[in-house]
């Protein structure tokens, strides 16, 4: 899952939200030295990624992606799932997307001291440039995917991948609406962040 979904699946605390994003910035981080609540958030991030990667219908969606982009299928789906989370926000959350988005940004700003440097840089840009609002449109997802493609250091055909996501939009949306409730239930059942 991508940043917005990880924050959505976190607990409403600075430590949890930092931990739930830390999984994408863990290189060089000594997980054993993290404060307990950050470490539990990190564990929750790992659970989310494992569950997503092993979900049968997510695997089926990955198989739709063309061979030249298949190695990036997970990234593509993670990003577009954030889009569909926003589109269907009211199904999963009683508070508005705008209110939750602002809370996420505020907690990420307040939790900078808990983050490695690269995470500080990315989350600062994320909040300053309001990345989550751009995810509400597929064009915003396409822009973000193309920025990722530019950073890949080997020759690839990743750029323009939004065209494939648009082609399969209805099928991805339908599966998201089945998969995401399954993921929410898994998080509730595992209760990783309620450990002491």
Predicted confidence at residue 195, as pLDDT, reads 63
pLDDT in tens, 26-79: 988 999 999 999 999 999 999 999 999 999 999 999 999 999 999 999 999 999
Question: Does residue 196 have a pLDDT over 70?
Answer: no
- From 153, 170, 150, select the one nearest 161 (Cα to Cα): 150
Q: The domain containing residue 11 runs over which residues?
A: 3-190
Whether residue 99 is contained in a domain is answered as yes
Domain total for the chain?
1
Whether residue 25 is contained in a domain is answered as yes
Whether residue 104 is contained in a domain is answered as yes
Mean pLDDT for 150-161 is 90
Predicted confidence at residue 40, as pLDDT, reads 96
Whether residue 195 is contained in a domain is answered as no
Whether residue 115 is contained in a domain is answered as yes
21, 31, 155, 160 from 88: Cα distances, Å: 22, 34, 36, 25
CA distance 66 to 62: 9
Are 114 and 121 contacting, i.e. CB atoms less than 8 angstroms apart? no
Mean pLDDT for 159-180 is 97
Give every CB contact of residue 124 below 8 A, 6+ residues apart in sequence: 109, 112
Whether residue 57 is contained in a domain is answered as yes
Q: How confident is the model at residue 190 (pLDDT cuts 50, 70, 90)?
A: very high
What does pTM read for this prediction? 0.96
For the chain, the maximum distance between any two Cα atoms, rounded to a whole number of angstroms, is 46
Whether residue 196 is contained in a domain is answered as no
């Amino acid at each position: 899952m991508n940043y917005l979904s990880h924050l959505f699946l976190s607990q409403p605390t600075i430590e949890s939200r930092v931990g739930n994003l830390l999984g994408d910035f863990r290189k060089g981080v000594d997980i054993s030295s993290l404060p307990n609540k950050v470490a539990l958030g990190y564990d929750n991030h790992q659970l989310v990624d494992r569950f997503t990667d092993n979900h049968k219908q997510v695997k089926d969606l990955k198989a739709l992606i063309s061979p030249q982009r298949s190695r990036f299928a997970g990234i593509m789906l993670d990003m577009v799932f954030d889009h569909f989370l926003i589109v269907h926000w009211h199904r999963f959350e009683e508070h508005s997307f705008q209110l939750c988005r602002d809370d996420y940004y505020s907690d990420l700003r307040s939790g900078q001291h808990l983050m490695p440097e690269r995470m500080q840089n990315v989350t600062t840009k994320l909040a300053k440039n309001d990345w989550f609002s751009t995810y509400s449109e597929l064009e915003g997802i396409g822009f973000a995917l193309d920025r990722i493609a530019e950073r890949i250091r080997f020759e690839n055909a990743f750029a323009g991948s939004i065209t494939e996501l648009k082609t399969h939009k209805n099928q991805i949306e339908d599966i998201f609406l089945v998969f995401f409730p399954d993921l929410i239930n898994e998080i509730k059942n595992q209760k990783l962040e309620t450990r002491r």
